[in-house]
């Protein structure tokens, strides 16, 4: 049978069983006693398994002793109890076939030593071979699976919302435009340049910044839905928490108000934190050891404590009284910057904060107005170390108030006519939020740059691979 490292280390094969394992060499060490120790990994879990290769193999000196990091091999071996400390099981190899050599190991970019994250970013196609990117990838997978499971168990339906759209869901003008190849001008012009039409088959269209508006249409019929897909923002921000292409999870709930979705966000985060601690203990131990010593304790703390709710207005008070010199000055009405968010979550509270009821004028057109006429029923979840990981709101379900807002903000009403229909035909209060998936992965792993938690990051000046 073909085996995977994870099963071998977990004792899924009886001692004495013969298995075939295919994977890559992590390290090789030759012993004077007539065998080599090869650490083999296949990505199925954090650890590699130790394979003991005797010099009696016919290709021992011709091949085995020439193996270097990342050579691919297939071994036939017996599962045995390990003599050494650490792992319980190892492999006693009876045959080893080299599948692929590493040419010129001296210049192999992933040669085994500590590489900086900046260096690894230049090798986005090879970095999945490193311990750190492997661990991030498995944690990312587990978080995605746990999110789907959480919503499924809570009677949400997954709705796939479009990537190409004509509406600017956030009204913030951070759109990438979609164009089509100009078929009338093919083949290519003699300069070798491609001609594009300025639009999507005769209409201006963009890559979506959020699936929310489409999700609202489905929530207003199926009650509880969520999206999980890629979103795009043409903001030219070169920060460690912004990407031009990122994934977003957006639940939308009919008949819900702001406190309902604040609660939902807390339940959801706790659920996925638990899943990661249970299912990715090996990877999380690595993050705690090598990346951020609080990686595990932070999640445990969050699981067992209530999130702190705070009004925007009170947060401004706290920031004003903090005596801190912020780069961006604080006053009621300003949008909070990451330094403010981090002060609140890290220094003032020391745990995630759900900030609610923001000034109307700094928020999107669809947010529900509060009685005071100044604020909207919006919320952000602020996490220590990162700042905003979730943004959401109750939606304005009253057509007259929505129209007033669209007019005030000078948005093209025609583009939102289908959205207005949701208010014209059986409107209901509803609310939802968006979780930036990469911000979540950063938060859970302690990885400080968002570009290191998505396989192939897209950001200003970064779209290779
Ligand atoms: O706060 P945002 O802009 O909210 C929305 O898009 C709403 N339509 C969501 C909703 O209510 N359904 O974005 C939501 C989250 C942010 O809290 C942040 O975590 C993440 O998306 N985000 C980004 N992540 C990476 N790179 C960027 N450029 C991001 N912009 C937002
Ligand atoms: Mg936001």
ipTM of the complex, rounded to two decimals: 0.99
- Whether pTM exceeds 0.90: yes
Q: 439 C-alpha vs ligand 2 centroid, how far in Å?
A: 12
Q: In this predicted model, what pLDDT tens digit does every residue of 241-257 receive, in sequence order? A: 999 999 999 999 999 99
**Residues 41-47, mean pLDDT to the nearest whole number:** 97
Q: 341 C-alpha vs ligand 1 centroid, how far in Å?
A: 15
Which of 246, 251, 430 has the most ligand 1 atoms within 8 A of CB, as the residue to mutate? 246
Q: 365 C-alpha vs ligand 1 centroid, how far in Å?
A: 15
Residue of the CA atom closest to atom 14 of ligand 1? 434
Ligand nearest to the CA of 212: 1
Tell whether the model's pLDDT for residue 37 goes beyond 80: yes
Q: Provide the pLDDT for residue 214.
A: 97
Which residues sit with their C-beta closer than 6 Å to ligand 1? 169-170, 210, 212, 233, 235, 242-243, 246, 248, 250, 388-393, 432-434, 436, 438-439
Ligand nearest to the CA of 171: 1
Q: 350 C-alpha vs ligand 1 centroid, how far in Å?
A: 23
Q: 379 C-alpha vs ligand 2 centroid, how far in Å?
A: 9
Q: Provide the pLDDT for residue 187.
A: 62
Q: Give the separation between CA 251 and CA 233, rounded to whole angstroms.
A: 20
- Average pLDDT along the chain: 94
- What is the DSSP code (8-state) at residue 181? B
> Of all atoms in ligand 1, which is nearest to the CA of residue 233?
28
Report the C-alpha dihedral over residues 175, 180, 185, 187, rounded to 10 degrees.
Answer: 120
Look-up of token digits 């994870």: 6
Edge-to-edge strands of the sheet including 308-311?
A: 157-158, 224-232, 245-254, 430-436, 387-394, 375-383, 353-359, 308-311
The CA-atom distances, in angstroms, between 254 and each of 7, 211, 244, 251, 394 are 44, 16, 30, 10, 10
> Of all atoms in ligand 1, which is nearest to the CA of residue 252?
12
Residue of the CA atom closest to atom 27 of ligand 1? 242
Q: Give the separation between CA 463 and CA 456, rounded to whole angstroms.
A: 8
Q: In this predicted model, what pLDDT tens digit does every residue of 433-455 receive, in sequence order? A: 999 999 999 999 999 999 999 99
Question: Between residues 307 and 188, which one has the greater pLDDT?
Answer: 307
**Residues 370-384, mean pLDDT to the nearest whole number:** 95
Contacts of 332 (CB under 8 A, 6+ apart): 313, 316, 359
Q: 434 C-alpha vs ligand 1 centroid, how far in Å?
A: 6
Measure the N-to-C terminal CA separation of the chain; round to a whole number of Å: 35
Which of 225, 245, 248 has the most ligand 1 atoms within 8 A of CB, as the residue to mutate? 248
**Residues 166-184, mean pLDDT to the nearest whole number:** 84
> Of all atoms in ligand 1, which is nearest to the CA of residue 242?
26
Q: 394 C-alpha vs ligand 2 centroid, how far in Å?
A: 14
> Of all atoms in ligand 1, which is nearest to the CA of residue 389?
19
> Of all atoms in ligand 1, which is nearest to the CA of residue 380?
17
Q: Which sign, positive or negative, has the C-alpha torsion 430, 436, 439, 440?
A: positive
Q: In this predicted model, what pLDDT tens digit does every residue of 64-94 receive, in sequence order? A: 999 999 999 999 999 999 987 788 999 999 9
Q: Give the separation between CA 427 and CA 435, rounded to whole angstroms.
A: 25
Q: Give the separation between CA 447 and CA 101, rounded to whole angstroms.
A: 32
Share of the chain above pLDDT 90, in %: 84
Q: Provide the pLDDT for residue 190.
A: 65
Contacts of 390 (CB under 8 A, 6+ apart): 265, 379, 380, 381, 433, 434, 435, 436
Tell whether the model's pLDDT for residue 189 goes beyond 70: no
Ligand nearest to the CA of 209: 1
Strands 18-31 and 2-3: parallel
């Amino acid at each position: 049978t073909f085996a995977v490292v994870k099963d071998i280390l977990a004792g899924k094969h009886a001692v004495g069983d013969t298995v075939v394992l295919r994977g890559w060499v992590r390290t090789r060490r030759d012993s004077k006693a007539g065998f080599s120790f090869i650490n083999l990994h296949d990505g199925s879990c954090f650890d590699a398994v130790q394979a003991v290769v005797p010099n009696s193999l016919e290709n021992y000196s011709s091949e085995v002793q020439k193996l270097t990091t990342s050579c691919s091999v297939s071994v036939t071996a017996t599962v045995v109890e390990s003599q050494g400390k650490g792992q319980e099981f190892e492999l006693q190899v009876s045959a080893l076939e080299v599948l692929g050599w590493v040419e010129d190991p001296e210049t192999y970019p992933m040669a085994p030593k500590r590489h900086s994250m900046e260096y690894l970013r230049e090798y986005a196609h090879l970095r999945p071979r490193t311990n750190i990117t492997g661990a991030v990838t498995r944690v990312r997978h587990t978080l995605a699976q746990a999110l789907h499971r959480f919503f499924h168990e809570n009677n949400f339906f997954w709705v796939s919302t479009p990537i190409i759209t004509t509406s600017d869901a956030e009204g913030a003008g951070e759109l990438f435009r979609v164009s089509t190849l100009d078929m009338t001008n093919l083949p290519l012009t003699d300069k070798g340049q491609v001609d594009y039409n300025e639009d999507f088959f005769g209409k201006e269209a963009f890559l979506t910044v959020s699936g929310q508006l489409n999700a609202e249409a489905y929530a207003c019929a199926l009650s509880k839905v969520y999206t999980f897909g890629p979103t795009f923002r043409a903001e030219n921000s070169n920060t460690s928490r912004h990407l031009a292409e990122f994934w977003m999870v957006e639940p939308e709930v009919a008949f819900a108000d702001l406190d309902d979705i604040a609660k939902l966000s807390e339940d959801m985060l706790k659920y996925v934190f638990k899943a990661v601690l249970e299912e990715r203990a090996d990877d999380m131990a690595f993050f705690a050891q090598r990346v951020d010593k609080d990686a595990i304790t932070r999640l445990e703390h969050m699981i067992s404590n209530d999130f702190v709710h705070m009004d925007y207005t009170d947060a401004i008070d706290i920031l004003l009284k903090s005596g801190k010199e912020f780069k961006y000055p604080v006053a009621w009405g300003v949008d909070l910057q990451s330094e403010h968010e981090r002060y609140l979550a890290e220094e003032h509270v020391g745990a995630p904060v759900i900030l609610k009821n923001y000034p109307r004028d700094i928020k999107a057109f669809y947010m529900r107005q509060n009685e005071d006429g100044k604020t909207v029923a919006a919320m952000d979840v602020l996490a220590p170390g990162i700042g905003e990981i979730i943004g959401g709101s109750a939606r304005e379900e009253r057509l007259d108030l929505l129209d007033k807002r669209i007019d005030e903000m000078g948005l093209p009403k025609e583009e939102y006519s289908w959205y207005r229909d949701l208010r014209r035909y059986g409107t209901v209060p509803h609310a939802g939020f968006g979780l930036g998936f990469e911000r979540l992965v950063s938060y859970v792993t302690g990885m400080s740059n968002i570009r290191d938690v998505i396989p192939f990051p897209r950001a200003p000046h970064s779209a290779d691979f």
